[in-house]
Amino acid sequence: MSDNEVTKRMGQLLRKGAALLNTACPKCNTPLLRLKDGSMYCAKCDKEVVEQTAVASSGELQISSSETLNQLASKVLVSIELLIHSFPEKPHTEEIRAFAKTARDLVEILKRIQEVQT
Ligand SMILES: [Zn+2]
Q: What is the pLDDT, as a whole number, of residue 10?
A: 92
- Write down the domain spans for the chain: 3-58, 66-117
Span from the CA of 106 to the centroid of ligand 1 (angstroms): 24
**Residues in the chain with pLDDT values less than 70:** 51-66
Q: What is the pLDDT, as a whole number, of residue 55?
A: 45
Q: What is the pLDDT, as a whole number, of residue 50?
A: 81
Q: What is the pLDDT, as a whole number, of residue 106?
A: 92
Span from the CA of 43 to the centroid of ligand 1 (angstroms): 7
φ/ψ region of 100 (left if φ > 0, alpha if ψ in -120 to 50, else beta) reads alpha
Indicate the average pLDDT of the chain. Answer: 83
Span from the CA of 107 to the centroid of ligand 1 (angstroms): 26
Q: What is the pLDDT, as a whole number, of residue 116?
A: 78
Span from the CA of 35 to the centroid of ligand 1 (angstroms): 15
Q: What is the pLDDT, as a whole number, of residue 59?
A: 44
Q: What is the pLDDT, as a whole number, of residue 51?
A: 66
Question: What length is written for the chain?
Answer: 118
Dist. CA 55–CA 108, nearest whole Å: 21
Span from the CA of 51 to the centroid of ligand 1 (angstroms): 13
Span from the CA of 81 to the centroid of ligand 1 (angstroms): 30
In Å, the largest CA–CA distance within the chain is 59
Q: What is the pLDDT, as a whole number, of residue 65?
A: 63
Query: Which residues touch 30 (CB under 8 Å, ≥6 apart)?
Result: 6, 24, 42, 43, 44, 45
Q: What is the pLDDT, as a whole number, of residue 117?
A: 72
